[in-house]
Structure 1
Amino acid sequence: MCLQSDLVDADVDPAVIEATRSALHQQLEDAELIHQPDEAHLQTAKERSEQLNFAISSLRRQLDAQTRDVVAPRFDAIADTSPRVASLKASIDAITQLRESWARVHTINADIRSLKSERRRINKDIKEKSEQLKARQSLLGDLSTEFGRLLTSWNLPWVDTAVIDRDTFLPAVNGQPFESLQASGGGITTSVNLACSLTLLKFGLDHADVLVPSLLVIDSPRKAFGNNDSDRQRASEIYSRFRTLADAYGERLQLIIADNDPPPVTSDSFGKVEFDYDNPMVPGVSHPGPDHVSRLEETADE
């Protein structure tokens, strides 16, 4: 061994060798004795393993046989159900969208109901206003008729037709609007204004829903007319109208007429206050003195 010199046969003891051989042989026999049970146990284990493998195979075949009719149809059913599930999901999405659409429809229907209610209210208001307008138009027609009757009763040579315009609610004579009549001046303007004012005064007294003052102040009604017989006759007719109103309505109205001449007609309903340089004020009203008054021209200049 390892470059050591071989033993010389003379150095080997045969007895030792024999003892060693016997010991080794004994160990081998002991090992075989130990190996035999292990070999038998291994063989038993192999046989048991084969039996178990056989049992496992049998059980697998049984399981396959048992699940073939149970699991496979389930998989087929699952496979068949999957498209239906997808279809149902699509239907749910569609229904969700429809629900949102229906919600908008309900909102629109609520708006429509509100608008219909508002329309009914407006139509009712329109009907009421139309009836009121119709009544007002009837009143305006009556007012126009009375105005035309009064103005034509004065036998004015320039009057053919006289009405109250339905658009402007102002007098119109011979088709001419009130602005043109005002521009004419003189007796035409005075007659038209006076006839319109008297008509409104009487109409307001006869119709409680027509709100016009029951006070009328007239300044110099005869100033714009001439002094011939027809003019004096016309003045007499105008004052006759004053007297008719005063006699008919009494204390319900008040007429204040400022004129240069005494009334051409008499009436117990008339009261007269005369002014001159010595008595320039209404009786009972004291003059504050010249130092406490100013002329209208001076006031206008300011």
Structure 2
Amino acid sequence: MTDWQSSPTSSSAPTTPSWTVRRWSRALSVDIEHRTSQRVTPRLQAFTDVSNRLAYAQARQRELETVLRQWDRVDDLAAAEDRLRAERDSVRAEFERLENAIETRRRGILDELNAEFSRAIRSIGVPSIETTQIHPTNYLPMLNGKPFHKASRGGGIITATQIAYWTSILCVVVTRGDTYYPSFLLIDSPRMALNSATDISAALYRRLRDLASALPGKLQLIVADNQLPDSVQRDFAELDFDYDRPTVATVDHPGPAAVETIENCDDLP
């Protein structure tokens, strides 16, 4: 008799309980986390730290390069300052040297003018003059400590002083030969102001003669006057102008009173 109720058999493999799987999973996670914390995380942290240090170093490098450029600029400015200071000191020294040279030259010329002016006043014989001087700043003549136009109201003394002054300047200029002052003097009617002072007139013309003869060919003197003193007539090249010999030779002078007045002109409106 066959037993149909025998226990069933299974051909499948045995299964693992779920709690075991969960235990293994937790263990694996712990192991991964442990290994990660021991190996990966420190490396990542080290990389982050190195990156941060590199970024700081690069920023610091740029900052220091900026500072170095600034110091280079400071050095350049300091060098430029030293150079400009040296140039300024050189220019200042040259300026002082030139100022001293100008002052020395001015004093020398002024001394020569004073000596020549005093000699001219004495040679012409200007009366009542005790002291003479060329003013040190405006370079005008002074008589007895006063400006020449205040020292005397007489026209003769003023005229004689002016001629003595201008001939003194001309004499110093031509004698020195180192200025651009023109070596030319034109005098208009000196005897008109001197009137009867014949001695001064003669002395004045002798002064002009002596100046011209002492410096021949270096200056030109022209005197426009009505008549020369007798004592010096032969010392001057004299040009006379009258109706027969007009100043402009190509223009004939009509002669005394030969003038057509405006009211006699018919072509006037």
Taking structure 1 as the reference length, the TM-score comes to: 0.62
CA offsets 1:189-224 (integer angstroms, 9 cap, x no match): 202210111112212221211222222222222222
Label 1:108 to 1:223 Cα distance change in 2 as closer, same or farther (>3 A).
same
Give 1:205's match in structure 2, choosing from 163, 174, 187.
174
CA offsets 1:253-273 (integer angstroms, 9 cap, x no match): 222222333324237541123
Distance 1:186 1:250 in 2: 31
Counterpart code for 1:286? T
Aligned partner of 1:15 in structure 2 is: none
Aligned partner of 1:159 in structure 2 is: 129
Counterpart code for 2:165? C
Deviation at 1:245, TM superposition (A): 1.8
Give 2:203's match in structure 1, choosing from 237, 242, 251.
237
Is 2:187 the partner of 1:221?
A: no
CA offsets 1:275-299 (integer angstroms, 9 cap, x no match): 44x43524x82334549x999xxxx
Counterpart code for 2:15? L
Maintained 8 Å contact 1:190/1:221: yes
Give 1:42's match in structure 2, choosing from 5, 8, 15.
15
Label 1:245 to 1:55 Cα distance change in 2 as closer, same or farther (>3 A).
closer
Structure with greater contact order relative to length (CA < 8 Å, sep ≥ 6): 2
Maintained 8 Å contact 1:243/1:267: no
Give 2:146's match in structure 1, choosing from 176, 193, 211.
176
CA offsets 1:75-123 (integer angstroms, 9 cap, x no match): 7xx5xxx8x9999799768757745753663464355245325412243
Distance 2:149 2:85 in 1: 46
Give me the identity figure in percent.
Answer: 26
* Higher gyration radius (CA): 1
Maintained 8 Å contact 2:188/2:224: yes
Label 1:41 to 1:209 Cα distance change in 2 as closer, same or farther (>3 A).
farther
Deviation at 1:56, TM superposition (A): 6.4
Maintained 8 Å contact 1:247/1:269: no
Give 1:105's match in structure 2, choosing from 43, 67, 74.
74
Distance 1:178 1:47 in 2: 139
Taking structure 2 as the reference length, the TM-score comes to: 0.69
Q: 3-state DSSP class of the match of 1:273? A: coil
Give the unaligned 5+ runs of structure 2. Answer: 262-269
Is 2:213 the partner of 1:253?
A: no
Maintained 8 Å contact 1:235/1:264: no
Maintained 8 Å contact 1:187/1:225: yes
Label 1:150 to 1:63 Cα distance change in 2 as closer, same or farther (>3 A).
same
Aligned residues: 252
Distance 2:253 2:241 in 1: 17
Counterpart code for 1:233? D
Label 1:247 to 1:99 Cα distance change in 2 as closer, same or farther (>3 A).
same
Maintained 8 Å contact 2:141/2:147: yes
Comparing both structures, which one devotes a greater share of its residues to helix? 1
Instruction: Select between 48-57 and 210-219 the one with higher mean Cα deviation.
Output: 48-57
Deviation at 1:45, TM superposition (A): 8.9
Maintained 8 Å contact 2:117/2:164: yes
Aligned Cα RMSD in Å?
4.6
Counterpart code for 2:215? Y
Is 2:101 the partner of 1:131?
A: yes
